[in-house]
Amino acid sequence: MTFFKRNSSRRLALASLVCSVFSPAVLSQSAVAPFSSWTEVVRTKAFDDSRGVYDNMMSVRRAILTRSGYCSDLNRHLLFDMRGNLLRYVDDAANSQQTQVKINQSRKELAQQGLVPTWVAGSSNSVGYPFAIRCHQPYVDLPRAIARYLGEHPDGRLSGNWNGISVGTPKKQASLHDVLQTVYKRRVQQKRITLPANLLPDLAGMLIIESGGVREAKSKANARGILQLTPTALKDCGVPANKQLHRIAQVDCALWLFERNHRMLQPVFAATFGHLPEDKQEQLYRLLLIQAYHGGPGRVRSLLLDAELNKPATYFAANHQQFSAGDIAFGMVFHNLGRNRLGFASLYYTADIRIAQQLLLSDSKAKPFPGLSTHQLTALP
């Protein structure tokens, strides 16, 4: 599943996170030997270092997606540490090779100044540390994507029929939001899905992020349509080859996938986190469902069940008072980066969904989920 029209493999491989200082005091100028790889850095970090990582990542992702703050100048890269603290920005050079040299020099300087314990040189095909992320994301246009979702842009309006569901008419077309609500209500009535209504804002965020609401969006990985579904997933949903871009069918399939993931994850989630306060459980579970939609439920289940991969989850479950739901969800992935095909894309995707959702709900003109309480809409991690 992919982002806007962006070319494939991608999901904005971006980095994260927040706050702070660009010209810290020099603590030490002594030479610091670099680690051999970024995964070595990840494996040495304590689980406690996940405290605050969710808010940090959200802040930087928001700057990138909205082209604001440190990313108001798009010709920059941001450097951040394992907790997602923003350490420095680096202005891009004339070409990518020269920019890489500048980034690696900044990494070395940050280690010499004592702001990070070590550094790793990056290259065009390897990750360095502190982590770097590019501000310029040419396929991102959140305002237009939200306008399509709400039907305020003509590309976001439609009418049609799919598998017993009728939406809009040629004279009174519906929005993608109308499609989501209509399909959800119909499948709940038919008892085909058991998803609670408070998950609908998450699905709205996906409709905004996956393709920007562009019907014909297609990735290099062959994901397609407004929800960037693969041909295999669409076939599993019973969508014929000539209907794969059908927007009502795409929403129907995404709901079915969410339902499948829900049934696969809920029991194992409850076994690990069932003792958390109810609100915190709900917030954490919603984030993990988003990650499961992006990377597959099996990968998220492994974070709860695998004897090695579940060590972060076990620690967070025992010490949950010290972490937000977002910190736990992101920490479970952060401390397993480089294992089981887990990468930054999962973290960025989840953050992007939340940011799109928050921008949608902050629109004073739009009241997209009147059936949900203010608490359900605002109690996001």
Helix H or strand E segment including 80 = strand 76-80
User: Tokens 């501000």 correspond to what residue?
Assistant: 135
373 has a pLDDT exceeding 90: no
Q: Which residues pair with 158 in a beta bridge?
A: 174
Distance in angstroms (rounded) separating the CA atoms of residues 127 and 123: 7
pLDDT at position 138 is: 84
Q: Which tens digit of pLDDT belongs to each residue from 46-83?
A: 999 999 999 999 998 999 999 999 999 999 999 999 99
pLDDT for the residue 346: 86
Q: Which pLDDT band holds residue 369 (cuts at 50, 70, 90)?
A: confident
Closest-CA residue to 335 (of 86, 47, 35):
47
Interstrand relation of 131-134 and 76-80 (parallel, antiparallel or unpaired): antiparallel
73 against 377, higher pLDDT: 73
Question: Which CATH code fits 142-378?
Answer: 1.10.530.10
In this structure, of 43-47, 164-168, 299-303, 315-319, the range with the lowest mean pLDDT score is 43-47
Exposure of 346 in the CB half-sphere (CA atoms within 13 A): 29
Cα gap 343→245, rounded to integer Å: 28
Structure-token pair, residue 283: 């917030």
**For residue 18, what are the β-bridge partners?**
85
Residue 366 has pLDDT above 80, yes or no: no
**pLDDT of 183 strictly over 50:** yes
pLDDT digits (tens, 9 = 90+) for 273-283: 999 999 999 99
Strands, sheet with 86-91, edge to edge from the N-terminal-most edge strand: 86-91, 76-80, 131-134
What span, in angstroms and rounded, lies between the C-alpha atoms of 343 and 345? 5
Q: What pLDDT was estimated at residue 26? A: 40
Supply the mean pLDDT for the chain.
Answer: 89
| pLDDT category of residue 343 using cuts at 50, 70 and 90 | confident
In the chain, which residue ranges form alpha helices assigned H by DSSP?
38-44, 53-66, 96-112, 142-150, 176-189, 200-211, 231-236, 247-273, 278-295, 297-305, 311-318, 325-334, 344-362, 374-378
* Residue limits of CATH 1.10.530.10 in the chain: 142-378
Is residue 137 within 8 Å of residue 14, measured between CB atoms? yes
What's the average model confidence in pLDDT over 185-209? 95
Give the separation between CA 137 and CA 208, rounded to whole angstroms.
Answer: 16
Using 50, 70 and 90 to split pLDDT, how confident is the model at 31?
low
Give the mean model confidence (pLDDT) for residues 233-259. Answer: 97
- The structure tokens 């990138």 sit at 64
- The tokens of 29 are what? 């100028």
User: Which are the contacts of 291, defined by CB distance < 8 A and separation ≥ 6?
Assistant: 299, 300, 329, 333, 346, 349, 350
Q: Which long-range contacts (CB under 8 A, 24 or more apart) does 273-278 make?
A: 273/313, 273/317, 273/320, 275/317, 276/317, 276/320
pLDDT at position 377, please?
47
Answer for the pair 61, 134: CB distance below 8 angstroms, yes or no: no
DSSP line for 304-362: HHSTTTTHHHHHHHHTGGGS-HHHHHHHHHHTTTTSTT--HHHHHHHHHHHHHHHHHHH
pLDDT of residue 368: 75
Six-digit token string for 111: 């280690």
Q: Which two tokens stand for residue 381?
A: 């991690």
Percentage with pLDDT > 70 across the chain:
88
Cβ atoms of residues 329 and 291 within 8 Å: yes
Q: Is the pTM of this model over 0.75?
A: yes
Distance, in Å, from the CA atom of 181 to the CA atom of 297, rounded to the nearest integer, reads: 24
- Measured torsion, CA atoms of residues 32, 38, 41, 45, in degrees rounded to the nearest 10: 140
